[in-house]
Amino acid sequence: MQSAQVIPFSFEAAPIRTVLINDQAWFCVTDVCRVLGYANSRDAMSKHCREKGVAKRDTLTSKGKQALTFIDEGNLYRLIIKSRKEEALRFEAWVCDEVLPSIRKHGHYEDSNNSMATLIGQTIGTDGFHMLGAVVKGKVSSLPAAIQRRATSKIWSQTHAAFGVRSAADIPADQLDSARNFIAAYVIEGEFLGRDDSSAQRFELPASAPLIQRWLVSQDGDGRQQAKPIPIDAFVMSASEFFHQINAGNGIHLAAQELIEFVISSMNQLKQRV
């Protein structure tokens, strides 16, 4: 089965995944049926769609690679016509007046406000956003329920600032692993666990510090606070946390070459100690 490069759109906050097959736009039937009010996408296809306009493609989702069903433009219109929801007319206008003309002209979707500008393969899109969301959820799961929302908001805010985007879906596709590692390595325990702030010292970063920069703040032997700039995708954790994150399904993702270098370094350390 062929793999598909998804073009993520959003119709009134509802995700609509689209792919190009033979230079033509095909739409994820699950997303379309959700907008048009069909409770069962398979039943809707069976009743209203032509078989030759249905295709499956391997697609990267928040749950990994899955085979999703896409329908062509003709079948899309058939579902729109049969829908009883008021949104159907607005959805048709959006597809016909904005999405399809833009895809045919540019090869990607550009809305009138230029707020999405989602190029094929350029950003992580909706699927990448959901993947990072799973990492964030795992990161805050050990915190008290009362502050999980605040911690989640802070992590997203720091991620947006670190990668210079307004939405995580706009993070460049080639930086997905860096974003995943950034979130997995984000230290939140000391920031969100209860403490007495009455005597806490406030550390001021240097005036010349870059606007987008990660800092490791610590105290020296005399109790003076100090800050050290660290790379955006650096791992800040104990050795035990590092091993746990490597083995966790939604933890740190290391490239094959990085894993090889880690193993070689570990073997050299063992040889020196034996």
Contact at 8 Å (CB) between 69 and 46? no
Residues 159, 192, 251: CA angle, nearest 5 degrees? 50
pLDDT band at 96; cut points 50, 70, 90: confident
CATH topology for the 7-106 domain: Mlu1-box Binding Protein; DNA-binding Domain (3.10.260)
Of 115, 214, 208, 131, give the one whose Cα is nearest residue 165. 115
Q: Which residues does residue 19 pair with via DSSP β-bridges, in sequence order?
A: 26
Of 162, 161, 99, 173, give the one whose Cα is nearest residue 129. 173
Question: Distance from CA of residue 149 to its chain's centroid?
Answer: 18
Average pLDDT over residues 17-21: 85
Average pLDDT over residues 97-107: 70
pLDDT band at 111; cut points 50, 70, 90: very low
Position 70 scores a pLDDT of 94
- Helix and strand totals (H; E) in the chain: 11, 7
Average pLDDT over residues 74-101: 87
Higher model confidence: residue 250 or residue 183?
A: 183
Residue 234 has pLDDT above 80, yes or no: no
Contacts of 119 (CB under 8 A, 6+ apart): 108
Domain boundaries, the chain: 7-106, 125-273
Contacts of 157 (CB under 8 A, 6+ apart): none
Q: Would you state the structure tokens that stand for residue 212, as one six-digit string?
A: 């987008």
Average pLDDT over residues 156-163: 87
Q: What number of other Cβ atoms are within 10 A of residue 28's Cβ?
A: 24
Q: Above pLDDT 70, what percent of the chain?
A: 69
Mean confidence (pLDDT) of the chain: 75
Average pLDDT over residues 101-126: 55
Q: Would you state the structure tokens that stand for residue 205, as one six-digit string?
A: 């970063």
Contacts of 13 (CB under 8 A, 6+ apart): none
Maximum alpha-carbon separation in the chain: 75
Sign of CA dihedral 176, 181, 184, 186: negative
Tokens 């899955």 identify what position?
66
What one-letter code names the amino acid at 217? V
Reduced to 3 states (helix: H, G, I; strand: E, B; else coil), residue 31 is: helix
Express each pLDDT in 25-81 by its tens digit: 899 999 999 999 999 999 999 999 999 999 998 887 767 778 899 999 999 999 999
Position 188 scores a pLDDT of 61
